[in-house]
Chains A and B, each alone.
Chain A
Amino acid sequence: MKSIPRELMAVERLLEQQAPDGPSVALRSRTLDAMLNVLPIDSLPEQQSLSTDSCMPAALDAASALSLLGMALSLAWVGVGWLSFHGHPSPASIRPPATLQAQARAFGMEPGYPFLALDVAASDTPAARSDGKGPAPCPPILAPYWFHHGLQGNN
C-alpha cells in the first residue's frame, strides 16, 4: 500500500486538529445505566437462583428449625418445672425407683450414676422416709440442682 503523499498529510493533520467533539460526560452514565438494565434479563435470574433458591431457603430452614427446637425445649423445661413446683405426681412415683434400679443393674451400672440421683433423691424425701404417709413433697427431679436448692434456701 502506498504511503500518503506529503501534501495530503497536511490535510490529514488538519482533519486531526479539527476533530469533532467527543461524547458528553452525561452520555457515559446514561449509556451504562441502559446497558445494565438490558443485562439482567439473562444474568440476574442466575444470580437470584443462587441466592434465593438455594442459599437463602437453606439458611431460613436452618434458622427456623433451630428456633422451633429452642422453643420446644424451653416450653418443656418450663412445663416440667411447673409440674415439679406445684406438687404434681413426681416422675419418681410414675416410675418406681425399683424399676430404674433394676434397669440400671440390667445395664451393669452402679447406683452412683448421675441419672440415678432421681431415685436416691426420691428415696431420701420426707415422704419416702415416712413410708409414704403424708403429702408427698416435690422431689428435686428434672429441675436443675441450683433451681431447686435455691428455692428451698429462699424458703
Chain B
Amino acid sequence: MADPLAQSLAAGTPSAFAELYDRFAARLVKTARRMDCHPAATEDIVHDLFVAMARSRANFENVDNLDAYVFTALRHAVARHQQRRRLEHAARSRAAENAIQRDDRATDSPPSANESLAHALASLPPEQREAVGLKIDGGLTFAEIGAVTGISPNTAASRYRYALEKLRILLIDSFVNE
C-alpha cells in the first residue's frame, strides 16, 4: 500500500516536502556521515538529494516504501560523491599527496574514542560500512536494507553482522582494557 505522504509529494504539496525533510533529514545526514566519513560534505549531499527529489516528485507516485526509496536515493548520491572525490584525488600529484601524508603523521595525536571508532569504521569494506549506516543511523530493517542495496535481507543481515564482528575485534578489547 502506498505511503500517503508519497501521494502528497507526487502532487507537489509544499507541506508534504517539509514533512519529508523532518522525517528523513536527521537519519539521512547521520547515515551519509557514517557511510562517507566526510562530515563537511554530507549536508550538501543531503540538501542536493532533497532538491532532486522535489524536482522529480512525479516518481513518488509509484513508491510503496518511502524509507527504501529515500535511502536508495541517498546511496546513489553518496556513491556519486565518492566517485567525484576519487577523481579529484587522482588528479593530484603523488608527490603532493605524499607531502600531505607526511605532515599528517607529524601532527598526529593519540586518537580519541570517537576517532578510534571512525578509523575502525573506515577500515570496513564499503558494503559493510553501508549496512551499519543504514541499520544504525537510518533505522532500516534488513528487508529495507536489502531493497536499498539490491541484495536479499539475509545477505544484508550477514553484512551487518560481519561488520559488527570486525569492529569488535578492532575496538572492544581496547575499550574493555580501559
Q: B-contacting residues of A (Cβ < 8 Å)? A: 1-2, 4, 7-8, 10-12, 14-16, 18-24, 27-28, 30-32, 34-36, 38-39, 42-43
Given contacts A1-B142, A18-B114, A38-B55, contact A30 B47 (CB under 8 A): yes
In the complex, A47→B71 CA distance in Å?
32
Give the docked Cα–Cα distance between A141 and B21 (Å): 75
Whether A23 and B26, one on each chain, are in contact in the complex, defined by CB atoms closer than 8 angstroms, is yes
Q: Which residues of A contact B75 (CB under 8 A)?
A: none
Pick from B29-37, B62-70, B84-92, B102-110 the stretch touching chain A: B29-37
- Complex A-B: 6 CB contacts under 8 Å: A2-B161, A18-B113, A18-B117, A34-B51, A34-B54, A38-B54
Contact B14 A36 (CB under 8 A): yes
Nearest A residue to B165 by beta-carbon distance?
A8
Instruction: Known A-B contacts: A20-B34, A28-B21. Give 4 more (CB < 8 A).
Output: A11-B167, A22-B25, A22-B26, A23-B29
The size of the chain B interface, using a CB distance under 8 A, is 38
Across the A-B interface, the 5 shortest Cβ-Cβ residue pairs: A20-B33, A35-B54, A22-B26, A8-B164, A23-B29
Q: From DSSP, what is the main secondary structure of chain B's interface residues?
A: helix
CB <8 Å contact, B137 and A31: no
Q: Smallest distance from the beta carbon of B139 to chain A beta carbons, Å?
A: 10
Chain B residues with Cβ below 8 Å from A18 are 113-114, 117
Please, how many angstroms separate the alpha-carbon atoms of A147 and B64 in the complex? 78
User: Is B168 within 8 A of A22, CB to CB?
Assistant: no
Q: Which residues of B contact A39 (CB under 8 A)?
A: 12, 14, 17, 54, 57
A93 → B minimal CB distance (Å): 72
Set of chain A residues within 8 Å of B61, measured between Cβ atoms: none
Task: List A contacts of B132 (CB < 8 A).
Answer: 15
Q: A1-B157, A11-B172, A35-B17 are in contact. Are A20 and B54 (CB under 8 A)?
A: no
What residues of B have a CB within 8 angstroms of the CB of A21 in the complex? 29-30, 33, 39
Q: B3 an interface residue at 8 Å Cβ cutoff?
A: no
Quick check: B50 and A8 within 8 Å, CB to CB? no
Report if A24-B164 is in contact (Cβ < 8 Å); known contacts: A1-B142, A15-B117, A34-B50. Answer: no
Question: Given the known A-B contacts A23-B43, A38-B54, are A14 and B21 also in contact in the complex, defined by CB atoms under 8 Å?
Answer: no
